[in-house]
Amino acid sequence: MRRIGLCLAILLAAAFAADRGLAGRYAGDWKSGASGSGGALQFALDGPRDETWKCDLTFSLDGAEVRTTMREVKVQEKRIELTYDFDAGGAALRSHVSGEWDGAKFRGQYETTMGGVQVDAGTWTAAPDKKE
């Protein structure tokens, strides 16, 4: 019975260490599946501190940098989920981003809503920022 407990503890420690290894700065791009438009994307994952992750994310839209207000950050093993609010042309929007680490970069999808109604969806990728 002690062996099972020890194995479980090692497994949990390894999973936690894998999560922790995702902290850092990332840069990449996003592309709308609806309009074909896209742009740059940058974010910094910080954590976990007291089992809580933080993230600061900006992206470009029509050549302008858009700042976001992060609402939720989830990092589990190789998966990431971010939910953030932003303003575009006076409209209050919310995006939900999900992706998976493939060993070299994150890849995933996003969905943007306004008032709970989907207004855009597409894909994104981000690799460790080489400027760091």
Instruction: For residue range 55-91, list pLDDT tens digits in order.
Output: 999 999 999 999 999 999 999 999 999 999 999 999 9
Return the higher-pLDDT residue of 102 and 5.
102
Distance (Å) of CA 79 to CA 22, 37, 94, 97, 99: 10, 25, 20, 11, 6
- Is pLDDT above 60 for 18? no
Residue 104: left (phi > 0), alpha (psi -120 to 50), or beta?
A: alpha
pLDDT at 11 over 60: no
This model's pTM is above 0.75: yes
Residue 12 reports pLDDT greater than 50: no
Domains annotated for the chain, with CATH where assigned, are 2-128 (2.40.128.120)
Asked whether the beta carbons of 15 and 8 are under 8 A apart, the reply is no
Q: How confident is the model at residue 4 (pLDDT cuts 50, 70, 90)?
A: very low
